[in-house]
Amino acid sequence: MITGFYLFASADAKSSIDDKTYLIKEYQEMFKKISQKRVGLSESEIEKVNQPFIKTVKKKGIKSANKTKKSLSLTLDAILGNKVMINGSWYSLYQNVGDLKIVSILGDTVYLKGNGTRQKLTIRKKNANITIK
């Protein structure tokens, strides 16, 4: 019985050593591939790539001779860090949007303040009836 246990333990130890040797060879192969010099795009190839970003024109404020302050409709389109997109234009925290100043950005809500009023904008939810199961 002891001899059988010894043979089993010795076979298991040999298998363990073989597994470790295999892993070491596998890792050495990975390190060899990682250490090879990688060649990227040349300067001229990079310049040929179309720009993935849309350039927007920054508006100084939203003013119109035909609109009064109460008829000015603001729509919060996006929030990215301390930047917000209102009516298609990007603004930073504490920047003016028309006569109002962005005073707070919390979650999906932006608070504007000015002329003794405070306005709350929340990101509009398109297709609110769609649910994902």
- pLDDT surpasses 80 at 107: yes
Could you give the dihedral angle defined by the CA atoms of residues 110, 117, 90 and 58, in that order, rounded to the nearest 10 degrees?
A: 180
What confidence score (pLDDT) does residue 67 get?
Answer: 43
| Token pair in block for residue 39 | 């060649």
Binning pLDDT at 50, 70 and 90, where does residue 111 land? very high
Residues sharing a CB contact under 8 Å with residue 70, sequence separation 6 or more, in sequence order? none
CB-CB contact of 121 with 86 (8 Å)? yes
Beta partners for residue 111, in sequence order? 104, 120
Tens-digit pLDDT profile for residues 35-61? 888 788 888 887 887 777 666 666 665
CB-CB contact of 94 with 103 (8 Å)? yes
Higher per-residue confidence, 63 vs 101 = 101
Q: Determine which helix (DSSP H) or strand (DSSP E) holds 84, and give its type and residue range.
A: strand 83-86
Question: Which among 67, 57, 60, 58 has a CA at the least distance from the CA of 96?
Answer: 60
| Token pair in block for residue 51 | 């720009």
Tens-digit pLDDT profile for residues 67-83? 444 546 898 988 888 89
- pLDDT surpasses 50 at 89: yes
What is the average per-residue pLDDT within 104-132?
Answer: 81
What confidence score (pLDDT) does residue 44 get?
Answer: 85
